[in-house]
Amino acid sequence: MLDKELLDFFKSKNCLVTGGTGMIGREIAIILANAGANVRVISLDKLKIHKDVDHVYGDLTNFEFCKEQTKDMDCVFHVAGIKGSVKVTIEKPASFFVPLLMFNTNVLEASRVNNVQKLVYTSSIGAYSSNEVFIESDDDDQGSPMDMFPGWAKRMAEMQIKAYQIQYGLDDYSIVRPCNVYGPGDNFDPENAMVIPSLMSRIRSGENPMMIWGDGSAIRDFAFSRDVAIGTIQALFYGSKGRYLNLGSGKAVTIKELVETLSNFLDFKYEFDSTKSSGWPKRLMDISLAKEMIRYNPSTSLEEGLKETWEWFLENNDEYLYKKNYFKK
């Protein structure tokens, strides 16, 4: 949870949350609104997330729009992004790459021009080059991002912030790199959902048995959206001091353990298809620097997070139909 000093800081502050109807953005907006901030979210989704949050429907690829929306803002949480499965990343890379470049360039430059005091940018684990354990580093000599097109778009935004720090001294512009985030508001579109919403959609549809690619041995780090939202708020408040900070759970979970955890409270049958690829063997985040610098302390267990996500999904299973889909023309 966030301490009183931090929450008091946001009282009456003007705060902008881009992508404020997504998993992380909606949690940030709700926390800030409850703390007494004046919160505005920007999104192309036709959704309303909180009675005390101003929802602006608009396109971040328009620079003049971004300048208008960042004017008089004290804090900007640039969370807007495009989320999709590995399949659509491979087949439709331009649908990731081009809008992300434009979102990031426009929001960051508009914030600078309008003298926004504090900003935090949510990058991604995909900005890292391939590894098994991802550790925050001062080393600029990184290899190519493992998520090629979205990873480069995220990396370029990080470089833009670094350029601002060098040229303009904007040390209160911070960067976080979340991992595999899940939770209420996730993308449950069956055509491009990530692993957890995909599994839940298939369970709800009654697939029997549910066939899962690989042998279940792949290791991932699954972070609950509210924990990541809290970490993002902490990063803006305390600052990342020119570094990027990992926001994960810090806990290794195999795909087999993930499925077994779901089966603890849901009744379904499943089989692993070891003839299919399991993907990267291991992707785990080291969150020690985030704990040290911004007091990040993810507290939601996997089962707790999955239960809350499932309950939300049952009540909002068609929400994805009201969200902008960058992969459909």
For the stretch 39-79, pLDDT in tens is 999 998 888 889 999 999 999 999 999 999 999 999 999 99
- Above pLDDT 90, what percent of the chain? 70
Paired residues of 43 in beta bridges: 57
- 242-289 pLDDT tens trace: 899 999 999 999 999 999 999 999 999 999 999 888 888 888 999 999
Is the pLDDT at 83 greater than 70, yes or no? no
Comparing 25-34, 89-98, 110-119, the range with the smallest average pLDDT is 89-98
CATH superfamily of 4-187+221-252+283-301: NAD(P)-binding Rossmann-like Domain (3.40.50.720)
Is the pLDDT at 91 greater than 90, yes or no? no
Residue holding tokens 């040229």?
Answer: 167
Torsion of CA 76, 236, 188, 33, to 10 degrees: -70
Residue of 234, 235, 233, 104 lying closest to 164 (CA atoms): 104
Q: Contact 317/185 with Cβ under 8 angstroms?
A: no
Classify the phi-psi angles of 266: left when phi > 0, otherwise alpha if psi is within -120 to 50, otherwise beta: beta
Residue of 161, 20, 8 lying closest to 80 (CA atoms): 20
What is the C-alpha separation between 135 and 154, in angstroms, rounded? 17
Q: Angle at CA 47, nearest 5°, toward 45 and 51?
A: 140
